[in-house]
Chains A and B, each alone.
Chain A
Amino acid sequence: MQHSPAPAPGRSGEGRARVEGRARFEARVREWFVANAPRKGSPEDFSAVHVVSARTPQEYHEQEQHAITVTRAWQRRLFDAGLAGRSWPTECGGHGAPGWQDEVVVAEQAKWGVSTKMFAVALEMVPAVLFGHGTHEQRVAYLPPILRGEHGWCQLLSEPGAGSDLASAQTRATPVDGGWSVTGQKVWTSNAGCSDYALLIARTGSREKGRAGLSCFAMKMEQPGVEIRPLRQMSGAYHFNEVFLDNAFVPENGLIGGPREGWAVLRTMLASERAAIGGGTSARSATQLVGLARQLGCSDDPGVRDLLAQAVIRERTLDLLRARIAAGHAVPAAGPTTKLLYSEHARLSADAATTILGMAVTLVDDPQAAPWIERLLFAPGLRLGGGTDEIQRNTIAERGLGLPR
């Protein structure tokens, strides 16, 4: 997350000073991780703790509680070490440093057996929304507890009748004494049961007004009017939730941006979500496919090799594209572009795995097939979450290439 402009790369003296500062900072961060973070693959490794895919609602609840507890503790250690929110303003709990310092911490963190993915909404989307649309009071109130690992956040956006067309959301926020009363049904919420706050989109104007009738709120999750039901997915696992709101309360100062400005806030939120999905470290599925082919003894087959190479090409070009975006290249519609390439990669790699696995993919109790079957059944959701592939293509065409709506 970059909140203060970093100097443009390649600028003579200024550029050199920045490179040196970066090298020193990188060394300091690395040193701290060496001393404090569990290695990948060690027994303490919790880098996959956010992958909650339980078989029963009870198991789901337990896994989620475990994941959030571990994440809170780790975020707190980052905070105490002065590595949380480097680029955030000091009054928001940060350090007012240039944006690249956050990138350095994120890049180093990805190498270790740790993760803050359970805090993804809190660390990426909430600041994007609050710096874009929130008040000073809201930033000072909501952001420091995030950095300290105290408040996790989730999103309450989609509804049964409002998927790609979020402008048709029907959940309604009615003015009451001291704030708003919210009633409606939300769906596809990750981490609903373990989040302290939600970014909520609700209707404050008439249905006919469409997007002009929406507002965005910060809502406390732990209250009588909020009921959470885990949702079972096609893989048989629980990960998302339905959230039923029945006169849930949001105080007056929970409105983010003006009333009816919800659509603008939502666009900021979705852009940062897209960038987070497409810009995250991709599952190294190409590397894993190569390992699978080797294990199964078919890595000499030219057809298999072609599939492996295609996966390698997708994965490396996506990494390189992200590197170009980070280096300041003007890539039109960068967020939707990387998100779409990422979901394509996931889909095609899972499909390649089925070819390599052969008949074994018909057996979920086959230990080699099982993890790939899970991905195969997870990939369709990746093409939908954070905006469908089709919506991403529309966005690329309209905002990236300038085609008419």
Chain B
Amino acid sequence: MNLAFTQEQNELRRTVRDFLDKTSPEAEVRRLMETVDGYDPGIWHQLAGELGIAGLTLPEEYGGAGCGFVELGVVLEEAGRSLLCAPVLSTVVLAASALLGLGDDAACHDYLPGIAAGTSVATLALTESASRWAGADGITTTATLDGHSNGNGWTVSGKKAFVLDGHAASLLLVVARTGAGLSVLAVDAGAPGVHRVPRATLDQTRRQADITFTAAPARLLGEAGAARPVVEHVLDLAAVAIATEQVGGAARVLDMAVDHARTRVQFGRPIGSFQAVKHKLADMHLGVESARSAAYHGLWAAADNLPDLPLAASLAKACCGDAFVAAATENIQVHGGIGVTWEHPAHLYLKRAHSSRQLFGHPAHHRQRLARYVLAEQSE
């Protein structure tokens, strides 16, 4: 693992940053976060179509670009910088990875081209009402096969919570229990028996919904009872993805704080010339560079599908989640009064930081997981 980006990957970063500078400036983020959908289908179509972001990691046969997770990471870091309001995490990371992992060719042919083209928004409905993160454990939603239908007459019943973009997705991939074990089923968001309630989110740039399924018609993906390893793998990818996004956000608030400290004058001098402020910013820098190292390691582990991906994912999520919260918090402190106003963007990043720290497991959860892996490693 050399952790060095290729020329093409650096080129991709420049292209994405240029595009987001134009399409996702602060004013646009603020406009979208007040809309019902929370994203702009036109921009998403452009991101997917012109830049190929939605299909970046999908095989070419499904309309994708056949790139790896490192390329996706480049996009996620830039998306995190600009607080891009778009269904990247839900559709590209969660749903597309799950579809690919489940190995259901027919379903891949049916769903992935729409995702790659940016015409279909999809998400994974996993977490249930318990507010403590349990990963793939504690699923009570059930899927049953109606004996009278020929083959694919499944229905799903249960309550899902914290479903990312659950209000806007047309395709819901539901993790449910069957007689054979954990399974994933595709449910059309418009099907009877699907009741969606958008929630008011702390981070308005990323939406969530509660979804109740009452004998909703569903299509089993892959084999019944075989989904647990796939879901766990998808959650590791999601942890790496959100960690990389957090690095983008943390780096952005560090830039913001440095710019402010250089130009804001008090006591007749820029506040960045005071040691108390310098040391705060130096500590933010340590956090950002450590987090970036952990996230990139996760990207490479995901791209190469290394056996220690679970460890790399926990390392990244544990490190980046806290680094972003720390950086977003100190950014406000460096800004002083203006930093606590609605008009200044600092709060948007603080909210994103706190919200994303909870998604796919809090750092404390990942530290316990990391310790388990390391203890097991060292007992060998």
Contacts and interface: CB of A to CB of B under 8 A. Distances in A.
Interface of A: 9-11, 286-287, 290-291, 294, 299, 302, 305-306, 308-310, 312-314, 316-318, 320-321, 323-324, 327-329, 331-333, 337, 340-341, 344, 390, 392-394, 396-398, 400-405
B279 interface: yes
A393 B296 CA distance: 24
B294 A316 contact: yes
A397 B367 contact: no
A294 B375 contact: yes
Interface string B266-291: 00011011010111011101100111
Nearest to B7: A10
A114 B259 CA distance: 47
Q: Which of B2, B282, B378 has the most CB of A within 10 A?
A: B282
Interface residues of B, number: 45
Contacts of A10: 4-7
A167 B94 CA distance: 57
Interface SS of chain B:
helix
A400 B284 CA distance: 12
B282 A397 contact: yes
B371 A287 contact: no
Contact of A308 (B278, B285, B371): B371
A312 B371 CA distance: 8
B371 A405 contact: no
Contacts of A317: 290-291, 293-294, 315, 319
B368 A329 contact: no
Given A317-B293, A403-B258, A312 B374 contact: yes
B370 interface: yes
Contacts of B319: 313, 317
B159 interface: no
A341 B292 CA distance: 14
B3 interface: yes
Contacts of A331: 289
Given A337-B286, A397-B282, A309 B368 contact: yes
Nearest to A392: B282
A402 B262 contact: yes
A308 B289 CA distance: 21
B286 to A, nearest CB: 6
A401 B370 CA distance: 32
Contacts of B3: 320, 323-324, 327, 329
Contacts of A310: 367
Given A341-B286, A394-B278, A309 B370 contact: yes
Contact of B281 (A9, A290, A403): A403
Given A341-B290, A403-B258, 14 more contacts: A9-B4, A294-B375, A309-B367, A320-B293, A320-B296, A324-B3, A393-B278, A393-B279, A396-B286, A398-B278, A401-B285, A402-B258, A402-B262, A403-B272
Contact of A305 (B4, B261, B275, B367): B367
Contact of B283 (A287, A327, A393, A394): A393
A327 B374 contact: no
Nearest to B369: A309
A290 B372 CA distance: 11
B318 interface: yes
B233 interface: no
Q: Which of A286, A294, A398, A403 has the most CB of B within 10 A?
A: A403
Contacts of B315: 312-313, 316-317
B2 A9 contact: yes
B377 to A, nearest CB: 9
Interface in B191-226: none
Contacts of B291: 317
14 contacts: A9-B4, A294-B375, A308-B374, A312-B315, A313-B294, A316-B315, A320-B297, A327-B4, A328-B4, A344-B286, A393-B275, A397-B272, A401-B285, A403-B277
Contacts of A396: 281-282, 285-286
Contact of B262 (A309, A394, A403): A403
A378 B191 CA distance: 66
Interface of B: 1-7, 258, 261-262, 269-270, 272-273, 275, 277-279, 281-283, 285-286, 289-294, 296-297, 315, 318-319, 364, 366-368, 370-372, 374-375, 378-379
Contacts of A320: 3, 293-294, 296-297
B378 to A, nearest CB: 5
A184 B341 CA distance: 57
A331 B318 CA distance: 21
A292 to B, nearest CB: 11
Contacts of B6: 10
Contact of A312 (B262, B285, B289, B370): B370
A324 B293 contact: yes
B367 A306 contact: yes
A49 to B, nearest CB: 26
Given A313-B319, A327-B3, A294 B371 contact: no
Contacts of B283: 393
Nearest to B368: A305
B371 A291 contact: no
A403 B261 contact: yes
Q: Which of A320, A324, A333 has the most CB of B within 10 A?
A: A320
A403 B285 contact: no
Contacts of A401: 258, 281-282, 285
A400 B279 CA distance: 12
Contacts of B281: 396-397, 401, 403
B290 A318 contact: yes
Contact of A337 (B289, B364, B374): B289
Contacts of B261: 403
A290 B296 CA distance: 25
A390 B278 CA distance: 10
Contact of A394 (B275, B366, B367, B370): B275
A397 B372 CA distance: 37
Contacts of A305: 367-368, 371-372, 375
A312 B319 CA distance: 11
Nearest to B5: A10
Contacts of B318: 309, 313
Contacts of B374: 286, 290, 308-309, 312
Contacts of A404: 262, 269-270, 272-273
Nearest to A289: B374
A37 to B, nearest CB: 25
Contacts of A393: 275, 278-279, 282-283
